[in-house]
Amino acid sequence: MHELAIANSVLEAARTEAEKRPGMRLAKIVVRIGDLAGVDADSLSFCYEALVKETDLERCALEIERIPQSNECPRCRHNFTVANFEIACPACGSVETRFAGGDELELAYLEMEDA
């Protein structure tokens, strides 16, 4: 259950950014979570809702973009989505492919509107 700490970090980052823009209020926070990040999206949403409840951010939504694992093939440069840990290149068949993404735990963007 580290999703609570993660939700807190997301809120802190969003508040820091929002404070730089007086007269605006946060409408939405968007984060990117890779499938290999070890973070449960439902649990993160639940923790976020609990943290913003009855605060000024109660109406600010959290949107989670899930990022699947992707690998790149050094032989043919093909970049592909990995499902079920199948890392063989679908284009040329090479099994020597490299991890290219899917462990993200990142802030993406905020949507702000006039307060």
Residues that bind another protein (CB under 8 A): 1-2, 5-6, 9-10, 13-14, 17, 21, 24, 27, 31, 36-39, 85, 87, 103, 105-113
Query: Smallest Cα–Cα separation from 44: which of 9, 68, 73, 12?
Result: 9
Question: Judged by CB, which is closer to another protein: 30, or 53?
Answer: 30
Nearest residue (CB) to another protein, 93 versus 109: 109
For residue 6, CA distances in Å to 9, 32, 51 come to 5, 12, 11
Residue pair 33/108 in contact by the 8 Å Cβ criterion: no
Shortest Å, Cβ 55 to another protein: 19
**Nearest distance in Å: CB 34, another protein:** 9
Cβ-contact 5, 37 below 8 angstroms: no
Q: Which phi and psi angles does 60 have, rounded to 5°?
A: -85, 120
The dihedral through the CA atoms of 15, 56, 67, 102 has a sign that is positive
CB-nearer residue toward another protein: 72 or 103 = 103
CB of 68 to another protein, least distance (A): 12
For residue 37, the minimal CB distance to another protein (Å) is 6
Smaller CB separation from another protein, 23 or 53: 23
